[in-house]
Structure 1
């Protein structure tokens, strides 16, 4: 039985383990953390991700624990609509996007991987000659090594050498809150160099996320800063911030990767953020990792030609990285004139154009 050694036990790594197991491979997942858990945040899964999850045999279970997104769009900080997404048209054309808690999603993935296959508390130091993975508990060897170890991937060095992630220019806050009043809609609001978004989870809690231009590594920036920046924005944002717990706030600078020359070399392949870390502006980070997992396992089972995996995945994912970066730059505009022009353009763009613009991202053959 062939074996895959998968470095990283996050969404991409677990999905890869499931995909290879379904192809009849043995898998060994090496995860640095002592436990496989997820932070308090939501996750959107678009139709392309759900197609991948169907191929992993998990689509129905995921849908059963998620909430269909029923409204979306972009407003300004005062609440005026700049752009509204025709969710019914999206549903008819591509299928329904869903939202769920990341912890629930990770729990489902973890349960689908054999218990013995996941080794936690293992810190990988590199990939040696003959594709031997060196780590804190010794070494691991297999017929294929998969780097699913994130934007600062150790495995990537064996494929591409040292690659420095690019700072986006803005940081992000994330928090899940339990509001006193139900919140039925979802969407984003764009200001000047700042954005705030929210979406309702299946249990009625609300996932909130926000961004602001600032230098990488800026200290502080908890709930008090969020309230100072967004507390005067339109409803229900002030109420959501009032319901937030300062200890639950997550703050992370956002990075992506420059285009890599390859996602594979020899018997080593990269997936997810290790290959194509992207800003979250299209909600496609996890979705693309799921596509990677399904594609890589299929290629490995068919002929093992990793050049074919690279050819299938690199152009598509790098296109999405670029699109996400551009959308982020537009959303973070801070010049008053530039923001005025941006908002006017959003209001003038027909919903049909928005719908068509999703096609290159959501149309995936699997």
Structure 2
């Protein structure tokens, strides 16, 4: 049999991107998803210029750009006052590309369309992974969720894209403390308010924030963040909890909330890996996305970094359409994963740390601190708008590795 095999645990955005990236480089790919069907978790997401460049490598960048709604936006206070204005033309001039907001299901659909038809296997839960080493393959024990059977797969490469509660990460790094709760919960929803929302805005209050992002089809993706006890749920329904928490905010926040049915509201606590992993690999196993560096959402980079991971991982391991001989001097995967880890960990960890710092500004609680924050942002946007945009240079400026 020719060619090298890769088994990917998890069919979220990171896992699907890894499958596409590896397949394009000649690998025989299996993407294992424990759910019986692909149901994207969440409502919408932003794809920043760095991730668009990565999606170009996967062949779907232009399709994502085609879903962009071009127009103005910026940051507002809860009262409605604009603190800072931005526009897509300014983003393109500075970063060479735009910022696209789309339905999460749209991006998942594009990645599924770019994946080889036979690569996806649903209803398959990864039970354990033996990471292998130079000269020996990795072994993945898979349990068939619906039928109750199990089997062991051998692979030249295993990619752990199984999310923030990654079972593979726990097995490979048993002393790592895992994710921690940030103290805030997030509601996400898709709605179609009337009249339609014209401009995108992130809205900052005291200890709370909201994002209202119009989509090209006339609907709105909204996210709303507020402090809450971990694991709490609203007795009267999540839509009612949103109306109580944000009902006195500026339009269109109450209007968007009011247009969303209860079953459209998704609630999830915001957790992250506050303790960094020492590396993103063990043997023939690479960690990717939330399994490696789950981060808070305040820079909108969680999915973007996972897509970057996928492209850099595929570049590091090289072509897959020749057999791995697994003899001394020719078994390249473990060394390639060490290079991937050395490249990705500093960048993704830095973005995660920056996201945590952004939370402290976005969700500032004191009245005096909030007033100073809003005044400083408004002044900076009038006097030196480039200074605000400059802080994103390092994040948005990533380029795919040269072939």
TM-score by length of 1: 0.96
- The residue correspondences of 1:171-182 to structure 2 (distance < 5 A) are 171-182=185-196
Q: Residues 137-173 of structure 1, C-alpha deviation per residue, up to 9 Å, x if partnerless?
A: 3222200110000011111134322432021110000
- The residue correspondences of 1:1-366 to structure 2 (distance < 5 A) are 1-39=3-41, 41-64=43-66, 66-94=67-95, 95-128=97-130, 130=132, 131-136=138-143, 137-161=150-174, 162-220=176-234, 222-257=238-273, 258-301=275-318, 304=333, 305-349=336-380, 350-366=384-400
- In structure 1, the residue corresponding to 2:72 is in which secondary structure? coil
- In structure 2, the residue corresponding to 1:146 is in which secondary structure? strand
CA distance in 1, matches of 2:131, 2:249: 56
Compute the displacement of 1:63 (Å): 2.0
- Is the CA contact 1:17–1:113 (under 8 Å) kept in the aligned structure 2? yes
**Structure 1 spans left out of the alignment, 5+ residues:** none
- In structure 2, the residue corresponding to 1:115 is in which secondary structure? coil
CA distance in 2, matches of 1:236, 1:307: 48
Deviates more, 1:143-152 or 1:338-347: 338-347
Decide whether aligned partners of structure 1 residues 323 and 13 sit closer, same or farther in structure 2, where only a CA change above 3 A counts.
Answer: same
- Is the CA contact 2:131–2:284 (under 8 Å) kept in the aligned structure 1? no
- Is the CA contact 1:146–1:269 (under 8 Å) kept in the aligned structure 2? yes
- Is the CA contact 2:284–2:337 (under 8 Å) kept in the aligned structure 1? yes
- Is the CA contact 2:46–2:102 (under 8 Å) kept in the aligned structure 1? yes
- Is the CA contact 1:68–1:96 (under 8 Å) kept in the aligned structure 2? no
CA distance in 2, matches of 1:170, 1:32: 28
Compute the displacement of 1:214 (Å): 1.3
**Structure 2 spans left out of the alignment, 5+ residues:** 133-137, 144-149, 320-331
CA distance in 1, matches of 2:372, 2:314: 46
CA distance in 2, matches of 1:355, 1:28: 40
- Is the CA contact 2:59–2:114 (under 8 Å) kept in the aligned structure 1? no
Compute the displacement of 1:86 (Å): 4.6
Compute the displacement of 1:267 (Å): 0.7
- Is the CA contact 2:71–2:87 (under 8 Å) kept in the aligned structure 1? no
Q: Residues 266-321 of structure 1, C-alpha deviation per residue, up to 9 Å, x if partnerless?
A: 11100100001111111111111111001000100165321110111110001100
CA distance in 2, matches of 1:276, 1:331: 21
Tell me the matched-pair count: 365
- Is the CA contact 2:272–2:294 (under 8 Å) kept in the aligned structure 1? yes
Decide whether aligned partners of structure 1 residues 129 and 55 sit closer, same or farther in structure 2, where only a CA change above 3 A counts.
Answer: closer
Deviates more, 1:200-209 or 1:159-168: 159-168
Decide whether aligned partners of structure 1 residues 341 and 7 sit closer, same or farther in structure 2, where only a CA change above 3 A counts.
Answer: same
Q: Residues 104-138 of structure 1, C-alpha deviation per residue, up to 9 Å, x if partnerless?
A: 11011112112221111111122136331122132
- Is the CA contact 1:68–1:97 (under 8 Å) kept in the aligned structure 2? no
Q: Residues 43-63 of structure 1, C-alpha deviation per residue, up to 9 Å, x if partnerless?
A: 111111110011111112222
Decide whether aligned partners of structure 1 residues 100 and 169 sit closer, same or farther in structure 2, where only a CA change above 3 A counts.
Answer: same
